Amino acid sequence: MLIDYHIHSTFSRDSSMTLREVCERACQLGIKEIAVTEHMDFDPRDYSYGYFDYEAYSKEIELEQEKYAGRLIIKKGVEVDYQQRNEKKIGKWLESHSFDYVLGSVHYVIDTNLSEIEPVRRLFSQHRRMEIYKEYFKEVQAAVLSGMFNAIGHMDLVKRQGSVYMGPLLLEDIKEEVIEVLEAMIKTGVVPEVNTSGWRQPPREPFPGPDTLKLYHDLGGEFVTIGSDSHQLRQLGFNLDEARELLRGIGFQSLATFDKGRLVPVEL
Ligand SMILES: [Zn+2]
Ligand SMILES: [Zn+2]
């Protein structure tokens, strides 16, 4: 089934498409189900901090769910920026807000926002490659074990800039850490996302890459979600078919969708 489980509408500060435009375009593309995953940030330094309006978002989601009933399944999701030091705040916030799908994403490593060009350049010039990668996966591991998330977004995002400064991220280099994360996911039922945006960025492969997905499958991982991480209309549904093809080739049979936090398997 064609799903896109990582989409930002204008309820995220860095998106240029309204929720209505998202739904219209998703129908045109033949997508059957979407999860909207607006940014929710807990770090005051973040560009999107304080921007997300839960009440207005919830109202708009309900409106679109009604309008598109029978044509498009729309899930109310959120992409939470995870940092270990904000875990209590995040937990408290999630307790008092309801979602179908809570995506946990690590955007910071060694106190550096991976989207900011100059700080990232400094990070890679001041720290050793393996130190950065290890720190990143340590944070992802904590996100998995926090028990707050249905899925983990772009679980090796650090390679986006890492691949520019240090060459491709090879699974061999970081295998121990990745296995630890994947085993924790399988044990706790947290699902990895195949984030297709990596295909349109320097790594030229999804987050995570084919090797990691194969490893997850070999370890017994059954479910994944797929998301385009789109912020503009032309990115919506980006490379969903490529992702499905990749997953089928590895041997996956099901995708995970979510309803009020409960995993609902659908055919890949
Ligand atoms: Zn993200
Ligand atoms: Zn995102």
Provide the pLDDT for residue 164. Answer: 85
- What are the chain's domains? 3-267 (3.20.20.140)
Averaged pLDDT, 233-257: 98
Instruction: Kindly give the distance from the C-alpha atom of residue 79 to the centroid of ligand 1, in angstroms, as a whole number.
Output: 7
In tens, the pLDDT along 149-163 reads 999 999 999 999 888
What is the mean pLDDT of the segment spanning 94-101? 98
- What's the gap in Å between 192 CA and the centre of ligand 2? 14
The predicted structure's pLDDT at residue 23: 98
**What's the mean pLDDT in 57-62?**
98
Cα(72) to centroid(ligand 1), Å: 24
Query: Where would I find the H helices in the chain?
Result: 19-28, 54-67, 87-95, 117-126, 129-145, 159-166, 171-188, 210-218, 240-250
60 is written with which tokens?
């708009």
Give the SS3 label for residue 236. coil
Residue 123: pLDDT over 90: yes
Token couple for 113: 């926002």
Instruction: List CB-based neighbours of ion ligand 2 within 5 Å.
Output: 79, 229
The Cα–Cα gap between 107 and 156 comes to: 10
Percent of the chain with pLDDT over 70: 100
Q: From the CA of 148, how far away is ligand 1's center (Å)?
A: 16
Pairing of strands 262-267, 3-7: unpaired
Q: What is the pLDDT of residue 166?
A: 79
Ligand 2 center from residue 8 Cα (angstroms): 6
- 165 pLDDT band, cuts 50/70/90, is confident
Q: What is the mean pLDDT of residues 62-72?
A: 98
Q: Cα(176) to centroid of ligand 1, in Å? A: 24
Helix, strand, coil proportions of the chain in percent (round to 5)? 45, 20, 35
| Mean pLDDT of all residues belonging to the chain | 96
> Residue 192: what pLDDT?
98
- Tell me if 2 sits within 8 A of 32, measured CB to CB: yes
- Assess whether pLDDT exceeds 90 at residue 234: yes
Phi/psi at 151 (5° precision): -150, 165
CA of residue 231 to ligand 1 center, whole Å: 11
Asked if the model's pLDDT at residue 32 lies above 90, the reply is yes
pTM of the entire structure?
0.97
